[in-house]
Structure 1
Amino acid sequence: MPSPRSADHPAVPPPQRDTVDALISQTQRLRGGLDAVRRDTVADLGGTDDAQVRWQRALCELAVHQLDDLGRHLGELREGLLADPPRTDEGTEADATGTDGGTEADPTGTAGGTEADPTGTAEAPAGSAATGRGSLLSRVGSAEWNLLSDGVTWSDELCRIFGRDPGDGGLTLDELPSWVFSEDQPILTAMVTDCLVDGKPIDGEFRVVRADEVVRTIHMAGEPVLDTDGSTASMWAVLRDVSELRRSERAVRESRDTLSHQRRIARTERRLAVEVQEAVLPPWRGSLRLPAGDGLPGAGPVADGAALDLAAHYLPSESSAQIGGDWYDALELPDGRTLLSVGGLTGHGVTATCGMAMLLGAVRGMAVAGIEPGPLMGRLNQLLAVSSQPALVGAACGQYDPRTRTLVWAQAGHPAPLLFRDGTGRPLRSCDGVLLGATTGAAYTQSEERLEPGDLLVLHTGRLARDAEGATERLLALAPRLTAAHGAQECVRTVAETFGDEPRENDACVLIARVTGARA
């Protein structure tokens, strides 16, 4: 059994007053700095209220309460150095430096503010009118239970923490458990038994329900006091109201758990979005030549050197946190033509990528069925009108016939394809067509362009840079490099190098098609 402390044990030399003053000053500076961090953090967040914001706010509030507690404890220590013995039982004892403002004991003057209820039950301020707002001892009290005389001595502050009139006195060890939560009563019983029987120090917490139904969380620390024959004469303890501190700690835990849960969901959704995207977009590794060989059976002869050398690239957004709904695609059709399409849905994540997969499948299916680009866009718009997941979609779709070297294409609220020839570039003549999903019954026209061997088509989703028009101008400025390149893959690398580090809010795609062969 540990040696209990005797009533006449020698006093431990107290710390020097100037050391405590220095610690109080450091606490004041930390508190001021924390206020600045909390103020700036909330301002930077712009009033949003997501899990990340709640977690940051909860951490700031917890740090505030801990620094306030530290300031109060240092103030008590300093007061004890100024007066011998400290009169902790006097409810009107003043703070050594004043208690109404930012003081040494309470650097911010907030010690006696309204406490939040840790269990959902309304709570009153920890301090009462008798102690005054910001009172040094508004949340700390002392108690002694004399086992020889059955006497009970409670400080006025402890009575107020329990919602009792100081004139009514304190609770006996038999009465105290009836104020404690039923599930916390074994904790109190074990602490008292260990102290009285085994001479162990007290250190634990329990919750009490006051007569006014206010719930407080109490931390009790103490020790037995022995008489001259070594038997336990009394039990002495300091009780501290830690309700607000525990509320802040719980808020940090809950907000941290919520944030972790949302991050796990985000990671899962991103993985699913990536898997959907990889399953749908062409898995090209280098250029792709279409039509393959002599074309499909029944497609007719292909003009010499009229095939397309194709390459594409997907550029993620600046954050890369979520995958968007952008796509690129090239497909050899049964009649020998080649389908070229790019587009993008609004939004990010699984919803956007699944919507992209649905639309891309529809584009492929209608093109295989022989539907021209203009009517194809109109039917896509009808599909979105009856979809359970409404979205706005920008797209460009073309069908290239290698036998005549003609490209028939249409657009829906999307940049026109760029044609590069002889070291220069220009957009193709625009077609009529609003964003898919913007309105029902929209009409989409189509245009036709004859291409020459060596011509280069660049289709992109318009979000290579923050400014779509600026992105088009920068692509056109690459004309000498693109037309001098040896293949579509080299052109894609040039575009990726130019826009790879661009700060983009959304993902982007680029598809490059080069007509092979030389001019006659």
Structure 2
Amino acid sequence: MPSHLFADRPAQPPEPGSVDALISQTRRLRGGVDAVRRDTVVDDDDVQGRWQRALCDLAVHHLDDLREQLDQLKEGLPPAPALQGLTEPGPEADADGTPQTRVGSAEWNLLTDEVTWSDELFQIFGRPPEAGPLPLDELGSILFSEDQPLLTAMVTACLVDGKPIDGEFRIVRSDGRVRTLHMRGEPVLDSDGCTASMWAVLRDVSELRRSQRAVRESRDSLQRRREIAQTEHRLAVELQEAVLPPWRGSLRFPHGDTGALDVAAHYLPSASSALIGGDWYDALELADGCSLLTVGDLTGHGVTATSGMAMMLGALRGMAMAGIEPGPLMGWLNQLQEASAQPALGSAVCCRYDPARRTLSWAQSGHPAPLLFRGGAGRALVPPEGVLLGATSGAAYGQAEERLEAGDVLVLHTDGLASGDTGAVRPGGIERLLALAPRFTAARSAQECLRTVLEEFGEGDREDGACILVARIAD
């Protein structure tokens, strides 16, 4: 029995040409989306890629539905029964290649107990036609137990109150496959206004819901990743701020003495503020009147790098305060890095300045050498032997000594200062620093020298953060 909704409506098919154009556009768009889906490379750790792939899958399902509906629109209103026009979508393949139709129709006659199913509905339910359609009171037997009350409520509301049916439930087919069906239907009234039958259109939306679920889960996973990254970034920033020296401006070690050091330092963030690395700088007055000057960097970014940096800087401060010379100190740092639960490579330069003799004793571990500026010229100090921290077990580190004079300027920096957006040292990066020698000679404080460096290197597209420390020998 046809639905009363369609009984008095004449067919009004659109112009074939316009529908053909829409079908062609849909097919081209579907092909484009499918190409993007194929080109989306996804691995286990690529949350963003999985989200994009899931969106492409969902878009493909929607476009397939649209194409099938346009095909039906092109064919026009089919012959009676009127519902038959809703059961003609093209088949799709199931996960194992079994053809699956998407839409079928049914009608349950309450007066004669006759049940009519379309061929497509038998395919959707995985039920052989010779078994016959399911009566309305047996339909719930193949539903998930938690979905059965929903079907009962919908059918009751339709038959008793005349309300339309619109809801989803899951079925378990005879072959064990689980499918999600969307059911829409209405009561058909007789001449006395009583419910004579109920018709329904059932659509298999299993793959559509799977795609929507994949989009939702990947989106939620991506959001969690972003929240975790934001939290880790905040912790890394807070840890870095807690560990690096809190002083701003210049420091003087020791206060008021001839040959004392005037020190200023600064941390330059990367172009991407999300990349907090393991860079450090420090200046510390030691118990014997000497001064510690150091800069360094651990590989990596985030909390792991900053926590490793905090451990290294704490150990360096303690050993320097205990009177350990820079060369042996580097050896102990190398052993500490080998024993770390989160091993990483590190480079550092450690200087011990004696104001009484105006001598600088220093060691390095694969780090750019300090730059010495004197009399309007600059040069890099000749580095003693030293490999990256954590690179070789039992490595030996040499120690060099340099005699300093009043007005000399020392510049210590991490390699991020002169590196570009690839992390590689820019050609002429050190030369740009050495070219600042005349301005350093004219400067009267370490802070003034530091401002000169920041004017030259402060803005840029550096990939990593960088530390710069300037020490000037008081006149």
Question: What do the CA deviations read for 1:320-358 (whole angstroms, capped 9, x no partner)?
Answer: 223211100000111111100011111222121111111
How many angstroms apart in 2 are the aligned matches of 1:13 and 1:483?
Answer: 93
Matched with 1:489 is: 447
Q: 2:140 aligns with which of 177, 182, 190?
A: 177
Matched with 1:70 is: 66
Q: Secondary structure in 2 aligned to 1:436?
A: coil
- Check if 1:472 corresponds to 2:465: no
Q: 1:203, 1:220 within 8 Å by CA — same for their partners in 2? A: yes
Greater Cα offset, 20-29 or 385-394: 20-29
Matched with 2:93 is: 113
Per the normalisation by structure 1, the TM-score is 0.84
Q: 1:51 aligns with which of 47, 50, 53?
A: 47
Residues 8/20 of structure 1: CA separation in 2 closer, same or farther (3 Å cut): closer
Q: 1:202 aligns with which of 165, 182, 205?
A: 165
Percent identity for Structure 1 against Structure 2: 67
- Check if 1:340 corresponds to 2:312: no
Letter in 1 for 2:53: R
How many angstroms apart in 2 are the aligned matches of 1:462 and 1:8?
Answer: 77
Q: Secondary structure in 2 aligned to 1:347?
A: coil
Letter in 2 for 1:11: R
Q: 1:11 aligns with which of 5, 9, 12?
A: 9
- Check if 1:508 corresponds to 2:466: yes
What's the RMSD between the two structures over aligned residues?
Answer: 2.5
Q: 1:180, 1:209 within 8 Å by CA — same for their partners in 2? A: yes
Q: 1:127, 1:139 within 8 Å by CA — same for their partners in 2? A: no
Letter in 2 for 1:141: G
Q: Secondary structure in 2 aligned to 1:325?
A: coil
Quote the offset at 1:367 in angstroms.
Answer: 0.8
Residues 413/237 of structure 1: CA separation in 2 closer, same or farther (3 Å cut): same
Quote the offset at 1:274 in angstroms.
Answer: 1.3
How many angstroms apart in 1 are the aligned matches of 2:212 and 2:412?
Answer: 54
How many angstroms apart in 1 are the aligned matches of 2:455 and 2:59?
Answer: 46
Gaps of at least 5 residues in structure 2 are none
Residues 172/86 of structure 1: CA separation in 2 closer, same or farther (3 Å cut): closer
Matched with 1:127 is: 99
Residues 241/427 of structure 1: CA separation in 2 closer, same or farther (3 Å cut): same
Q: Secondary structure in 1 aligned to 2:415?
A: coil
How many angstroms apart in 2 are the aligned matches of 1:28 and 1:424?
Answer: 71
Letter in 2 for 1:62: L
Quote the offset at 1:385 in angstroms.
Answer: 2.5
Instruction: State the number of aligned residues.
Output: 467
- Check if 1:226 corresponds to 2:189: yes
Question: What do the CA deviations read for 1:373-431 (whole angstroms, capped 9, x no partner)?
Answer: 11111111122233323221110000111222211110011111111223322110111
Residues 250/126 of structure 1: CA separation in 2 closer, same or farther (3 Å cut): farther
1:295-334 maps to which residues of 2 (within 5 A)? 302-303=257-258, 306-334=259-287
Residues 383/7 of structure 1: CA separation in 2 closer, same or farther (3 Å cut): closer
- Check if 1:456 corresponds to 2:409: yes
How many angstroms apart in 2 are the aligned matches of 1:92 and 1:12?
Answer: 19
Quote the offset at 1:362 in angstroms.
Answer: 0.8
Q: 1:391 aligns with which of 332, 344, 358?
A: 344
Greater Cα offset, 221-230 or 206-215: 221-230
Matched with 1:30 is: 29
How many angstroms apart in 2 are the aligned matches of 1:61 and 1:431?
Answer: 60
Matched with 2:152 is: 189
Greater Cα offset, 157-166 or 468-477: 468-477
Q: 1:7, 1:226 within 8 Å by CA — same for their partners in 2? A: no
Letter in 1 for 2:72: E
Matched with 1:118 is: none
Letter in 1 for 2:267: Y
Per the normalisation by structure 2, the TM-score is 0.91
1:70-469 maps to which residues of 2 (within 5 A)? 70-81=66-77, 83-85=78-80, 112-115=92-95, 124-125=96-97, 127=99, 138-293=101-256, 302-303=257-258, 306-464=259-417, 465=419, 466-468=423-425
Q: 1:277, 1:353 within 8 Å by CA — same for their partners in 2? A: yes
Q: Secondary structure in 2 aligned to 1:53?
A: helix
Q: 2:107, 2:198 within 8 Å by CA — same for their partners in 1? A: yes
Letter in 2 for 1:199: G
How many angstroms apart in 1 are the aligned matches of 2:86 and 2:224?
Answer: 47
Q: 1:312, 1:510 within 8 Å by CA — same for their partners in 2? A: yes
Letter in 2 for 1:50: D
Gaps of at least 5 residues in structure 1 are 100-110, 116-123, 129-137, 294-301
Question: What do the CA deviations read for 1:440-482 (whole angstroms, capped 9, x no partner)?
Answer: 2111111111122222111111122122363323322333344
Greater Cα offset, 491-500 or 180-189: 491-500
Letter in 1 for 2:393: T
How many angstroms apart in 1 are the aligned matches of 2:336 and 2:5?
Answer: 87
Letter in 2 for 1:322: L
Letter in 2 for 1:247: R
Question: What do the CA deviations read for 1:289-346 (whole angstroms, capped 9, x no partner)?
Answer: 22223xxxxxxxx32xx22222212122232223211100000111111100011111
How many angstroms apart in 1 are the aligned matches of 2:465 and 2:236?
Answer: 13
Residues 447/243 of structure 1: CA separation in 2 closer, same or farther (3 Å cut): same
Question: What do the CA deviations read for 1:49-103 (whole angstroms, capped 9, x no partner)?
Answer: 422221121112111111212222222222234x44588759997x8xxx7xxxx
Q: 2:122, 2:129 within 8 Å by CA — same for their partners in 1? A: yes
Q: 2:104, 2:202 within 8 Å by CA — same for their partners in 1? A: yes
Q: 1:27, 1:71 within 8 Å by CA — same for their partners in 2? A: yes
How many angstroms apart in 2 are the aligned matches of 1:67 and 1:287?
Answer: 66
Residues 307/469 of structure 1: CA separation in 2 closer, same or farther (3 Å cut): farther
Quote the offset at 1:223 in angstroms.
Answer: 1.1
How many angstroms apart in 1 are the aligned matches of 2:188 and 2:243?
Answer: 77
